[in-house]
Chains A and B, each alone.
Chain A
Amino acid sequence: MMNLLRKITHSFSYTFMILFRKSVKSLAIILSVATFAVLICLMEFTIQKQESLLSDMYEQFKINLVIMDKSASYADDLKMNRKYASVFMDKENILFENLDNLRIRSKGEENIVVTDEDGDYITSLNVIGLTYLPDQSEFNVSADIWQDYDNSMLMSNENVCIIPSGISSIGSYIYIKTEKIEESVEYLVIGTYEQEESIFFCPYLNYDESIAVSSNNIYSIESDISNTRAINDIGIFLLRYFIEPSIAGVTPVGTNDLGLMYAFSFVIPKGNLEEAIDPIKADIKKLQILEPFIFVFSAAIGFVISMLSIKNRKAEFAVMRSMGASGGYVFYISFVEQAILCIIGTMLGTLISWIVFNQLSPTQINKIAIFITCYLFGTAIEAIRIACIKVMKIMKANE
């Protein structure tokens, strides 16, 4: 044990003596390793930063999704089957988590009769089922909404409604009769409007279930895309039910996943999203692809620098061997020397990176560790080679 300890301390003192004696060369190697360490930290930092910037870029683009006829000529009065609503309102699929502000509405072809509690006639109203609050631009109504309202009310099939203020007030109940249901049904008034329109607004699902006469009752479907990164995946998903616009009206043979003919197209007006994002995505991907090459380079350069450093000292190691040092000890001395240089250089590079970039993520530390491993691997190869060469051959070697 003491012998081992003595050998270790001796080897370290010998190593440091050599390093100080060849200070210029040692410094050159330390600086090389340090710059490689900085490069690796920087690459990792750059990739993370670029990914973050790319996410910021995506967020700047507000993209929406519009369902249109086959040729993308119009987006309303589509007379779509009710089944399409289930595609957009299914909480299990990709659309639900990546779309926002879904706007499905019916045309307004049905009428309902508003009655009192006893079923006596009050007035008739035109019905529109929808999943969003009606507004001035589309319906010419400016509705006051219940303070407890939330978006899920119109996305559900609850018996809630928005009606002219002259009929009832917010928070009260009204009764309606429809062609489908003879008895009066109670609805909670969640909103009223002052304008002269005579429209009864209710959730689309509620309309579809209780009031709609036809199954092809969807007038229009639109939505905002909350996660712009998922546009391609959304497009792939929608191809199961819709086509991409075709002015020639070309549709796939057969039916879509709903068992219906392909009669509608989806349009995602991306603007200049692809032109803006694709070059950056490609750039980031290049950097990610380049990283392994850098590790390979670092291993190779570690090997080469070690070789250059050790090669000049063959005679020194030959003398050590001839004086009784084992091959293993020679390996150990030469490896430790390069390892110390590598570790000092890496620590220096890491410190510089930390100071400059003000961060040192676990990923960067992992990459540094991989770099050290690769570098020492290269060093080990050369050290083994030196340790295995015949002493006499070195002594006789003609430089």
Chain B
Amino acid sequence: MEYSFKSFYRTPARSIIYIILLALTATSLCTSIAMWRYSVESIKEVRDTFTTIGVLTELEFTEQSYVKSDPPLYDYSMLAAVKKRAIESAYAVSADIREYVMGYNENIYADVKHGTEVETYPYCMSIVTGICESIEFTSSLNYKAILRIDYSDLNIIPRHVNRYAEPQLIRINGIYITGDNKSPFKVGEKYMVYAMCLSYDTEYEYINAYIDKSVNESYKYEEIVKYDSTTMKEEFGEFGDNKVFYKLNNPSLYMMQKIDTTAYAFIENEKGLWAERVERCSITQHSAELILTSWINSIYMFNTNEAYIVEGRNITNEEFENGVNVCIVSSSFAANNKLKIGDKLAFKVYEHDFRILSSTIRKTDSEPGVMRSLEGKDRLDVWLSKGFDPINGFFIEIEYEIVGAYTQENRINRNEFTFTNNAIFVPQKSIEGNFNTQPTVHTISRYTDELIRTELVRTSVPGSFSVIIKNGYIDAFEKEMEEAGYGGIFYYFDQGYSKVSKILDEYSDISMLIALISILVWITVVAVFVTTYISRSRRDVAIMRSLGTSKSKTYISQLVTIILIALIAAVICSIAGIAVYSKITAMAFADITQGSNTVMSLESIIDRSRNTVIMAAIIQFFITVMSFAVILLLQIKKNVIILMMKAKKQ
């Protein structure tokens, strides 16, 4: 050992040269290996930024509301089995089964554009108190009544109607006359109305409101009334014969109440149906839809970039997994409610039932001049929340921090994959429990000889299911589904992964080449070093052996010298390698946006790659020492005379 250290110090120049040679090549190797490791990890990271989803449209499994709808493509009883099979697929990463609840906060207003029932329900449900100024029965079944709103009394009018002006009049479109066969409104009388306020007509300056439409089960309580012309004149003014009216024989379905005092007093005394309606309206109009999801990009509109984050950030994987109380809201909702990123929203959360509405698809490809809806292909069922149910009440209070705001492309038509600007997305694990478990009763009407109504039970919410598939395995997944008899049901979206996959594969192959060639360079240079050193040490070994030193002592003395050299080189290589790698990384990342998700995920890759430098330094040290040990062993075993002759030749 002493000899080894002495021989090291005795020829410092040569030792230093050897150390520099080994350190340089090792640094080059370690840096290349670290960069290759980074490439591999970052390509994996790039692949993971894509989300491949399979969705099915449940409306292909269900009879739709519209009377002339086409029959469904598949049997509804198959739906649960299809979903189960998809989840169990070997190519499925997970499934996102979204749940829908609502959150009430008295300081927020539901973000709704005025317009149709599909766009505004349930937030359009209102309580309006006023005095009837006119009523007109049209030639069809409907009537239009105009009330002057009494703002000194109870009114719960949605913000999308009274946002810009305080409406003085409300025009109510209704269908039913009263149970005692009277006109629903009489001029001069005061009424409290439970109406659907859809929009504000700026030209005529009244609220457009409907009653009776929201009563789903009205057909069960309808009666037809036919008046003669005398009664018509007495009751409703001049009107033709053969006018048919409808009435409801269930008072709890009446949407208007004549009141003699104030609405407040009436409700105080009644404490029943109308009190519930008031509570339902006031809670619902200050509610948002909370969509519980396990991954944002599993949602069709986000996956296809039709909805996207415009400010702040998306919810991260970790936040989804840990059920952190964060949320993303629509920019419209945030702007209208004067919210900003970082604000906290407290909600009282409640479950709700669904109302299934048949929505007309606007702007179809129908032939010019042909009436729409004849073929039933341009109406689609839309599932809408029914809003707050006072009987069920709230089940939890929770607070969310707004981390991002999204916006979405302007979609004229709603379908099961769209959502409104009133939707707030939260991690599914942030609220414990199973929701939307109550089946929804769907009443459909079909003509045979007469109109037949059928009640169907639906056990899942359309648009709530996505299966997340391993990137690049769409075909394999579809094949599996075909083998199970469920081929062609799913629609696939992969954010363009199929297009970039080949590019990433090529990139990966190219990156590996650098590492391989770097290893080759290192091997070659180490071979040069070993060759040179062995030839130099041959003379020393020969002299030591000829003077009687044992093979083992000779071997150890030479080996210790090389271990010393290799160790110092490895230490220098580690320090230099990390310094070089860190410097290169810092320079390379100077352009990338700070604080983005990209930087955070890449920083972890950089740390892991940096550790690779040290690992590579350690491994190359051992390989260098081992290879030298083997060659030295072979040399030591040779005959002393042969060694002396070879040394002399040098």
A residues in contact (CB < 8 Å) with B: 24-25, 28-29, 31-32, 34-36, 38-39, 42-43, 46, 49-50, 53, 56-57, 60-61, 68, 70-76, 136-138, 140, 194-196, 244-249, 265, 267, 269-272, 274-276, 278-283, 285-287, 289-290, 293-294, 297, 300-301, 304-305, 307-309, 311-312
Q: Interface on B for A, CB 8 Å cutoff? A: 14, 17, 20-21, 24-25, 27-28, 31-32, 35, 38-39, 42-43, 45-46, 49-50, 305, 308, 310-311, 330-332, 334-336, 338-341, 363, 365, 368-369, 405, 407, 410, 412, 421, 495-496, 499-500, 503, 506-507, 510-511, 513-514, 517-518, 520-521, 524-525, 527-529, 531-532, 535-536, 580, 584-585, 587-589, 591-593, 596-598, 601-602, 605, 650
Q: Is the interface of B mostly helix, strand, loop or mixed?
A: helix
Shortest distance in angstroms between A244's beta carbon and chain B's nearest beta carbon? Answer: 8
27 residue pairs from A and B, CB less than 8 Å apart: A24-B531, A32-B521, A32-B528, A39-B514, A60-B496, A60-B499, A71-B335, A71-B405, A72-B405, A73-B407, A73-B421, A136-B363, A196-B368, A245-B405, A245-B407, A247-B335, A265-B310, A267-B407, A272-B50, A279-B602, A282-B585, A297-B25, A297-B28, A301-B24, A301-B525, A311-B17, A312-B650
How far apart sit A305 and B111, CA to CA, in the bound complex (Å)? 75
Would you list the 8 A-B pairs with minimal beta carbon distance, nearest first? A279-B42, A73-B332, A71-B335, A275-B49, A247-B334, A285-B588, A269-B308, A72-B310
Q: Find chain A residues with CB under 8 A from B308 CB.
A: 267, 269-271
Determine which residue in B305, B365, B529, B536 has the highest number of CB atoms from chain A within 10 A of its CB, and name it.
B305
Query: By the criterion CB–CB under 8 Å, are B521 and A36 in contact?
Result: yes
Contact across chains for A31 and B31 when beta carbons are under 8 A apart: no
Task: Tell me which of A39, A42, A275, A305 contacts B46 (CB under 8 A).
Answer: A275
Would A282 and B589 count as touching, CB distance under 8 A?
A: yes
Q: Which residues of B contact A194 (CB under 8 A)?
A: 368
B593 touches A28 (CB 8 A): no
Contact A247 B46 (CB under 8 A): no
In the docked arrangement, what's the CA distance between A280 and B513, Å? Answer: 16
A317 CA to B300 CA, complexed, in Å: 79
A286 touches B588 (CB 8 A): yes
* A-B residue pair count with CB separations less than 8 angstroms: 213
Q: Which of A75, A271, A279, A287 contacts B514 (CB 8 A)?
A: A287
Q: Give the chain B neighbours of A29 by CB distance below 8 A.
A: 528
Per the bound structure, the CA–CA distance linking A285 and B589 in Å amounts to 8
A247 touches B25 (CB 8 A): no
User: Would you call A278 and B602 a contact (CB within 8 A)?
Assistant: yes
B297 closest partner in A (C-beta) = A272
Residue pair A60, B528 in contact (C-beta under 8 Å) = no
By a CB distance below 8 angstroms, the chain B residues around A283 are: 35, 38-39, 42, 511, 588
Give which listed residue, A137, A275, A285, A297, contacts B597 with CB less than 8 A.
A275
* Interfacial chain B residues near A136, Cβ < 8 Å: 363, 365
Residues of chain A within 8 A of B339, CB atoms compared: 247
A290-B511 Cα distance, complex, nearest whole Å: 14
Contact of A247 among B17, B341, B597 (CB under 8 A): B341
Docked CA distance A74–B310 (Å): 12
List the A residue with the shortest CB-CB distance to B601. Answer: A275
Q: Which residues of B contact A244 (CB under 8 A)?
A: 311
**Distance in angstroms between the alpha carbons of A304 and B305 in the assembled complex:** 57
Quick one: which of A68, A282, A308 contacts B592, CB cutoff 8 A? A282
Residue ID in chain B nearest A196 by CB atoms: B368
The answer to whether B593 and A281 have CB atoms under 8 Å apart is no
Given A25-B531, A279-B602, A304-B17: A247 touches B305 (CB 8 Å cut-off): no
Residue in A53, A140, A300 whose beta carbon sits within 8 Å of that of B507 in the complex: A53
State A250–B332 Cα separation when bound (angstroms): 15
Contact residues in A for B528 (Cβ distance below 8 Å): 25, 28-29, 32, 305, 308
In the bound complex, CA of A146 to CA of B587 (Å): 55
Task: Specify the chain A residue showing the minimal Cβ separation from B597.
Answer: A275
A194, A247, A271 pick with most chain B CB within 10 angstroms: A247
- Chain A residue contacts of B28, Cβ below 8 A: 293-294, 297
